[in-house]
């Protein structure tokens, strides 16, 4: 057992700013005697003791106004300080007096901490040149409101940067605010290379918390790096191999410097002279626009760059090839005028720097053959048409040309259709039609007066004649005469009288009457036969067709056509059938 008064306290107590610190004071008095008094002190910056409170029995006497309202003593005599600030980071002493046992004391270091705010990083806004002689500023990092003060380190692409003579400098500024908290500012100075255009920089703040080092990182920042161009590229957009006449293209010049240099464009002319095209280009973006290029646009183009920082020039050339098809021609053999039955060969040719394919199409656009020749045999007027040779460059999509040729078959006119026979009525207005085919274009003449309208399509011609039917036209008909320089063709149009509906009715009535008469006569003959007036035996057989002098004998002669012929009478009005009287014949009754 201890023979003297002993006081035990924790060496360190940590508390966050704004919290409550509890400092315990445990003591042992020999013989389990009671304490006489307890004093709490703190050590100021001058290393002087300042008493906070005096405890005797159950009475607590506060003596320091700086802690008024923030101190409290527990039943175990532990000292509690509320609303701790960084100014409370001091050494606190607990002193215990116990009469004859004299007094004892011990102390505790109160550590107050404040976690720093997230660091603020600001990159150099103006950009940095790789050719800078001085070490340029990359970025600045600031950590605010922390206690105790933290440390700041710098990193590039995840690697820690260390100060290096004439290459890397990291000065740091420490400021203690009126609140007692610290603000730390660190600035990174370092040389850059063109590879640093994609580098990411950040700072890390290191601080102590509960006996351990903690860290917090800033955002990543990138700085603008200026460097001269090392390579220049000039290309045709779209690809040079696919450019054709009429296209709009761009010559795009690119340099790998920053900032971009000034661009100039030229085209090589004869005798190695160069035409300046800069006025047609965007010198900032390095684009030369060429609209509607043609064969003469082909050639060597040059892009020239000028770096305004060191006035260094670079250049790059590109060959522009404009694909084209020219000189499309069609040759016809024989070239003399063609007659019906002839044959002809069409040959197509064109010039181009690329391979060509040929197609033949008719006037309706239908493909009729492939290859550069088309052979047509046994020509007719119907064969006459406009054929086109379509020239295609398969390797250059959209590059094609066409040439049209007319295959005209000559001959005298041939009448292919007339409106004959034509059934008409007296005084009726009718249209007479005559269609023919011929080349050269023929003329159509009628031998009767009327109003004519002509329609022409290719080698076909049609004439419509509007006339009023009269007796002479009905009797003689009309003649269509078609002629050109190679001959004449003509055809006759027959006009037939069409009966009126009234005459049809009379014929039908006559047919019905005749049928009734035949039926009555048949009934009379049958009745006489039944009465025995007409003998039917072999001995009494008589020829009823031979007339006799007896008054009671009746001789009947009947001539009639079949019913199908009777039905045909309904068409008699068109002039082709016989009259009803001719078809029925006659019924003759002889009486004595």
| Same-domain pairing of 254 and 313 | yes
| Same-domain pairing of 305 and 360 | no
Residue whose token pair is 């005084």: 427
Question: Cis (ω within 30 of 0) for the bond into 148?
Answer: yes
Give the separation between CA 119 and CA 205, rounded to whole angstroms. Answer: 7
Q: What is the pTM of this model?
A: 0.55
Q: Is residue 382 part of a domain?
A: yes
Q: How confident is the model at residue 510 (pLDDT cuts 50, 70, 90)?
A: confident
Residues 552-579 pLDDT 10s: 332 323 233 333 333 333 333 333 333 3
Q: Is residue 215 part of a domain?
A: yes
| Same-domain pairing of 185 and 208 | yes
Residues 249-305 pLDDT 10s: 999 999 999 988 999 999 998 878 899 999 988 888 899 999 999 999 999 999 999
* The pairing of beta strand 443-446 with beta strand 478-484: antiparallel
pLDDT at residue 17 greater than cutoff 80: yes
The residue from 113, 131, 163 where one domain ends is: 113
439: CB partners within 8 A, 6+ apart = 381, 384, 408, 409, 410, 411, 459, 484
Dihedral, 220, 223, 227, 232 alpha carbons, nearest 10: 60
Give the separation between CA 121 and CA 345, rounded to whole angstroms. Answer: 85
| Same-domain pairing of 151 and 213 | yes
Q: How confident is the model at residue 2 (pLDDT cuts 50, 70, 90)?
A: low
| Same-domain pairing of 221 and 242 | no
Q: Is residue 102 part of a domain?
A: yes
For 45-67, what is the mean pLDDT? 87
Report yes or no: 123 and 138 within 8 Å, Cβ to Cβ.
yes
Q: Is residue 29 part of a domain?
A: yes
Give the CA distances from residue 271 to residues 268, 284, 575, in Å, rounded to whole numbers and listed in that order.
Answer: 9, 30, 94
| Same-domain pairing of 128 and 200 | yes
| Same-domain pairing of 14 and 96 | yes
The helix (H) or strand (E) run that includes residue 224 is none
Residue from 185, 35, 178 nearest 97 by CA = 35
Dihedral, 390, 393, 397, 399 alpha carbons, nearest 10: -60
Q: How confident is the model at residue 163 (pLDDT cuts 50, 70, 90)?
A: very high
The two three-digit tokens of residue 6, written as one number: 């002993």
Report yes or no: 23 and 79 within 8 Å, Cβ to Cβ.
yes
Q: What is the pLDDT of residue 240?
A: 65
| Same-domain pairing of 170 and 216 | yes
SS (H, E, C) 131-176: CCCCCCEEEEEEEEEEECCCEEEEEECCEEECCECCCEECCEEEEE
Task: Give me the phi and psi of 246, to 5 degrees please.
Answer: 95, -10
For 223-234, what is the mean pLDDT? 93
**Three-class SS state of 272:** helix
| Same-domain pairing of 246 and 199 | no
Residue from 93, 272, 246, 114 nearest 184 by CA = 114
Question: Cis (ω within 30 of 0) for the bond into 410?
Answer: no
Instruction: Report the percent of the chain where pLDDT is more than 90.
Output: 56
Report yes or no: 141 and 185 within 8 Å, Cβ to Cβ.
yes
Report yes or no: 346 and 377 within 8 Å, Cβ to Cβ.
no
The two three-digit tokens of residue 34, written as one number: 């009671």
Number of independent structural domains in the chain = 5
Q: How confident is the model at residue 336 (pLDDT cuts 50, 70, 90)?
A: confident
Lowest mean pLDDT among 301-305, 321-325, 364-368, 408-412: 408-412
Q: How confident is the model at residue 534 (pLDDT cuts 50, 70, 90)?
A: low
Q: How confident is the model at residue 517 (pLDDT cuts 50, 70, 90)?
A: confident
CATH number, domain with residue 97: 2.60.40.10
| Same-domain pairing of 296 and 350 | no
State which residues form the domain around 108.
Answer: 6-113
Residue from 117, 230, 240, 227 nearest 181 by CA = 117
Report yes or no: 72 and 3 within 8 Å, Cβ to Cβ.
no
Give the separation between CA 487 and CA 485, rounded to whole angstroms. Answer: 6
The two three-digit tokens of residue 410, written as one number: 């000559």
| Same-domain pairing of 149 and 127 | yes
Report yes or no: 36 and 97 within 8 Å, Cβ to Cβ.
yes
Residue whose token pair is 């274009």: 441
The residue from 189, 206, 226 where one domain ends is: 226
The DSSP line for 31-43 is: GGPPPSEEEEEEE
Q: Is residue 514 part of a domain?
A: no
Q: Is residue 548 part of a domain?
A: no
The DSSP line for 478-531 is: EEEEEEETTEEEEEEE-EEEPPPHHHHHHHHHHHHHHHHHHHHHHHHHHHHHHH
Residues 103-148 pLDDT 10s: 899 999 999 999 999 999 999 998 899 988 899 999 999 999 998 8
Bridge partners (DSSP) of residue 202 are 155
Give the separation between CA 530 and CA 527, rounded to whole angstroms. Answer: 5
Question: Cis (ω within 30 of 0) for the bond into 334?
Answer: yes
330: CB partners within 8 A, 6+ apart = 346, 347, 348, 389, 403, 404, 405
Give the separation between CA 288 and CA 301, rounded to whole angstroms. Answer: 10
Q: Is residue 482 part of a domain?
A: yes
Residue whose token pair is 């009448």: 415
Q: Is residue 587 part of a domain?
A: no
The residue from 497, 516, 533 where one domain ends is: 497
Residues 62-105 pLDDT 10s: 877 888 889 999 888 899 999 999 989 999 999 999 877 788 99
pLDDT at residue 581 greater than cutoff 70: no
Give the CA distances from residue 401 to residues 315, 326, 327, 381, 404, in Å, rounded to whole numbers and listed in that order.
Answer: 38, 8, 10, 28, 10
| Same-domain pairing of 333 and 392 | yes
């Amino acid at each position: 057992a201890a023979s003297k008064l002993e006081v035990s306290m924790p060496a360190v107590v940590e508390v966050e700013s704004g919290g409550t610190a509890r400092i315990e004071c445990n003591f042992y008095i020999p013989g389990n005697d009671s304490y006489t008094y307890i004093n709490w002190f703190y050590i100021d910056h001058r290393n002087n003791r300042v008493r906070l409170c005096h405890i005797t029995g159950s009475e607590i006497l506060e003596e320091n106004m700086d802690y008024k309202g923030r101190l409290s003593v527990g039943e175990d005599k532990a000292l509690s300080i509320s609303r701790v600030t960084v100014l409370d980071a001091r050494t606190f002493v607990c002193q215990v007096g116990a009469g004859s046992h004299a007094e004892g004391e011990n102390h505790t270091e109160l550590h107050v901490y404040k976690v720093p705010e997230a660091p603020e990083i600001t990159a150099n806004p103006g950009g940095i040149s790789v050719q800078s002689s001085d070490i340029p500023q990359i970025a600045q990092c600031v950590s605010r409101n922390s206690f105790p003060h933290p440390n700041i380190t710098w990193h590039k692409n995840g690697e820690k940067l260390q100060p290096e003579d004439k290459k890397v400098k990291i000065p740091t500024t420490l400021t203690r605010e009126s609140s007692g908290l610290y603000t730390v500012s660190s600035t990174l100075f370092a040389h850059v290379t063109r590879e640093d255009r994609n580098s990411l920089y950040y700072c890390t703040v290191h601080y102590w918390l509960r006996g351990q080092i903690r860290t917090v990182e800033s955002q990543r920042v990138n700085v603008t790096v200026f460097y001269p161009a090392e390579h220049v590229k000039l290309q045709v957009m779209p690809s040079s191999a696919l450019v054709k006449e009429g296209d709009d293209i761009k010559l795009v010049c690119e340099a790998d410097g920053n900032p971009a240099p000034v661009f100039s464009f030229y085209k090589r002319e004869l005798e190695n002279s160069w035409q300046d095209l800069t006025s047609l280009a965007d010198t900032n973006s390095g684009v030369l626009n060429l609209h509607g290029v043609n064969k003469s646009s082909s050639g060597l183009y040059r892009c020239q760059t000028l770096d305004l920082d060191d006035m260094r020039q670079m250049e790059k050339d590109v060959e522009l090839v404009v694909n084209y098809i020219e000189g499309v021609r069609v040759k016809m053999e024989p070239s003399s005028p063609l007659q019906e039955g002839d044959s002809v060969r069409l040959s197509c040719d064109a010039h181009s720097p690329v391979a060509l394919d040929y197609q033949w199409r008719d006037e309706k656009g239908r493909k009729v053959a492939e290859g550069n020749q088309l052979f047509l045999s046994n020509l007719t007027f119907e064969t006459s048409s406009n054929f086109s040779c379509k020239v295609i460059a398969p390797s250059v999509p959209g590059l094609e040309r066409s040439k049209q040729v007319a295959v005209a078959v000559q001959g005298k006119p041939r009448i292919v259709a007339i409106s004959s026979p034509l059934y008409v009525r007296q005084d009726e207005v009718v249209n007479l039609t005559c269609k023919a085919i011929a080349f050269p274009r023929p003329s159509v003449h009628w031998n009767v007066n009327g109003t004519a309208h002509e329609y022409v399509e290719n080698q076909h011609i049609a004439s419509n004649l509007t006339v009023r039917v009269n007796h002479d036209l009905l009797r003689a008909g009309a003649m269509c005469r078609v002629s050109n320089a190679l001959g004449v063709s003509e055809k006759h149009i027959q006009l037939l009288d069409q009966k009126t509906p009234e005459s049809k009715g009379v014929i039908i009535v006559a047919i019905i009457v005749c049928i009734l008469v035949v039926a009555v006569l048949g009934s009379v003959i049958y009745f006489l036969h039944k009465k025995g007036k007409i003998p039917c035996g072999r001995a009494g057989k008589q020829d009823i067709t031979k007339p006799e002098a007896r008054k009671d004998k009746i001789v009947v002669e009947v001539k009639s056509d079949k019913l199908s012929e009777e039905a045909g009478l309904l068409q008699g009005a068109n002039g082709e059938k016989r009259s009803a009287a001719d078809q029925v014949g006659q019924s003759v009754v002889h009486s004595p």
